């Protein structure tokens, strides 16, 4: 079970490259201040903080920074701030409208901005109220892709899997809940999860830049973990107005369904709202950023916290599809848990989980060592992809000398790694990379460690 070139004639799996399907939910356009769901005073503070950090800005640029339309929203807030002498117009260009005016913050505006910054230093796109975000998750959850056997064969065409494993994966993906992948290391558990993630990323969803709750901001959009749909990379054209044809709330971005991977760095604290004591706003945890997609917990059991404590944290979300997060004020908020959680481990399940938790994991799939036939197919594909001349005689020699005689188990990642070794050695010797006995022996001796 390893990455390999597709079989001749096979169709590519659905991917971002073929264009994501349109999401079922589109944020409605904002016409006036009331449509934002935010207090005008809060928005005034947001603009003052932006101007405090950035200095002179045009009306259009201010609208772009806080991701709200200039006409009907930002222009009204700026008019109020001018009337209260918190900002002033420094220059204007006749004929281009008020959006082209250059604004500056006044001394009184600086004082109020500093007061606002003591509460929170967030100065970015205006957030979306929690209730609207919750509704968007629920609406977009109903449109999850339902896979068939044919689709799964396309998605997993780059992997060599036995039929039992293949047939178990499709229903697990359709469940949209949880998958527990276990088995020896190096047999493709992570590759399987990534292939499924690539399939789901053929769909797109909308998420807000940030969420507003009780005066607090939770930053949701993450440029590292979220991949923008190409045409959405730039919402504005530098004029404070939406691009042609984009009649929607600009506080949202269209992304491919998330595929987020976390491993040994995962902690219990990382699964709750993370409050920055300096910036005074929150960062959304992994599972909220993964809403609508997949969260892969790789190398499960090797985290810095006990597996049992980590699993106890997941019991309620996995069963009720609702997660409870805590603000630093003590208030708990409910967030939909629309995440396909994939636990991947090479440790024995009995060392990690008890019967009660296994019951809550919908699908348990063992990824076993490849058979000799599967190993041969993996080696043949990998060798062809890497430019190593394949030989059945060479493979038979490798299996006999380095597996059978040494009682070594087959692993799906070995062909890839051994081919890399052969390429390194052949390059050094200035010979053709092939499965000769000499190159196989040197590659295996360099790669394998006798335990």
- Three-state secondary structure string covering 127-156: CEEHHHHHHHHHHHHCCCCCCCHHHHHHHC
Domain boundary among the residues 122, 140, 157 is at 122
> b or e along 89-127 (b: 16 or more beta carbons within 10 Å of the residue's beta carbon)?
eeeeeeeebbbbbebebbeebeebbeebbeebebbbbbb
269 and 194 co-located in one domain: yes
The pLDDT of residue 276:
92
One domain, residues 330 and 403: no
Per-residue b/e over 14-40, b at no fewer than 16 CB within 10 Å?
A: bebeeebeebebbbeebeebeebbbee
Same domain, 189 and 260: yes
How confident is the model over 136-159, as pLDDT tens digits?
A: 999 998 666 678 888 888 889 889
Question: Is residue 240 scored above 80 in pLDDT?
Answer: no
Task: Confirm whether pTM is higher than 0.95.
Answer: no
pLDDT at 67: 97
**Does 28 reside within a domain?**
no
| Domain shared by 164 and 217, yes or no | yes
Is 80 exceeded by the pLDDT of residue 26?
Answer: yes
pLDDT of residue 190 exceeding 70: yes
For 288-311, b/e burial (b = at least 16 CB within 10 A) is bbbbbbbbbbbbbbebeeebeebb
Question: Quick one: pLDDT at residue 246?
Answer: 52
Could you give the number of structural domains in the chain? 3
Helix, strand, coil share of the chain (percent; to 5): 45, 15, 40
Nearest alpha-carbon partner for 38 in 133, 126, 134: 126
Residues 292 and 340 in one domain: yes
Helices (H), 300-436: 307-320, 355-360, 372-386, 392-399, 414-429
Strand partners, 216: 213
Q: Of 265, 266, 365, which is closest to residue 313 (Cα–Cα)? A: 266
Predicted pLDDT of residue 216: 95
Let me know whether 331 and 201 are in one domain: yes
Domain with 274, as residue range(s), is: 131-227+250-366
Considering the domain architecture, whether residues 261 and 299 belong to the same structural domain is answered as yes
Model pLDDT, residue 349: 82
CA distance 357 to 124: 41
Least confident of 120-134, 144-158, 176-190, 385-399: 144-158
* Region 209-222 average pLDDT: 96
CB 74 within 8 A of CB 93: no
Residue 393 and residue 357 in one domain: no
Pairing outcome for strands 87-91 and 322-326: unpaired
Q: Which positions ≥6 away from 73 have C-beta within 8 Å?
A: 30, 32, 33, 35, 36, 63
Mean pLDDT, the chain, as a whole number?
Answer: 88
């Amino acid at each position: 079970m390893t990455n390999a070139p597709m079989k001749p004639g096979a169709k590519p799996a659905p991917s971002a490259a073929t264009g994501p399907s349109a999401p079922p939910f589109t944020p409605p356009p904002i016409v006036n201040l009331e449509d934002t769901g935010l207090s005008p005073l809060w928005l005034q503070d947001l603009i003052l903080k932006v101007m405090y950090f950035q200095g002179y800005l045009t009306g259009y640029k201010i609208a772009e920074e806080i991701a709200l339309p200039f006409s009907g929203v930002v222009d009204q807030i700026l008019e109020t701030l001018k009337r209260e002498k918190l900002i002033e117009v420094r220059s204007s260009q006749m004929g281009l409208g008020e959006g082209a005016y250059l604004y500056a913050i006044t001394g009184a505006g600086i004082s109020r901005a500093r007061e606002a910054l003591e509460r929170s230093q967030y100065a970015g796109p205006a957030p979306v109220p929690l209730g609207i975000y919750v509704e968007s998750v629920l609406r977009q959850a109903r449109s999850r892709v339902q896979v068939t056997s044919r689709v799964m064969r396309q998605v997993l065409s780059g992997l060599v899997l036995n039929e039992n494993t293949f047939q178990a994966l499709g229903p697990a993906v359709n469940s949209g809940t949880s998958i527990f992948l276990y088995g020896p290391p190096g047999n493709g558990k992570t590759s399987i999860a990534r292939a499924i993630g690539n399939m789901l990323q053929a769909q797109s969803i909308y998420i807000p830049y940030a969420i507003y709750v009780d005066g607090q901001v939770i930053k949701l959009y993450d440029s590292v973990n979220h991949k923008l749909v190409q045409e959405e990379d730039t919402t504005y054209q530098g004029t404070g107005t939406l691009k042609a044809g984009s009649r929607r709330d600009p506080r949202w971005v269209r992304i491919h369904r998330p595929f987020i991977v976390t491993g040994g760095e995962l902690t219990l604290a990382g699964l709750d709202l993370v409050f920055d004591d300096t910036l005074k706003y929150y960062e959304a945890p992994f599972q909220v950023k993964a809403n609508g997609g997949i969260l892969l917990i790789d190398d499960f059991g090797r985290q810095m916290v006990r597996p049992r404590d980590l699993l106890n944290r997941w019991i309620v979300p996995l069963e009720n599809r609702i997660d409870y997060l805590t603000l630093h004020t003590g208030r708990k908020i409910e967030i939909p848990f629309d995440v396909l959680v994939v636990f991947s481990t090479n440790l024995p399940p009995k060392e990690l989980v008890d019967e009660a938790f296994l019951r809550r994991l919908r699908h348990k799939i063992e990824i076993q060592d490849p058979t000799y036939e599967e190993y041969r197919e993996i080696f043949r594909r990998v060798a062809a992809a890497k430019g190593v001349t394949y030989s059945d005689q060479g493979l038979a020699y490798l299996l006999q000398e380095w597996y059978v005689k040494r009682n070594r188990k087959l692993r799906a990642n070995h062909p890839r790694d051994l081919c890399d070794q052969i390429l390194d050695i052949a390059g050094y010797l200035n010979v053709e990379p092939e499965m000769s006995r000499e190159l196989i022996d040197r590659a295996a001796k360099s790669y394998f460690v006798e335990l």
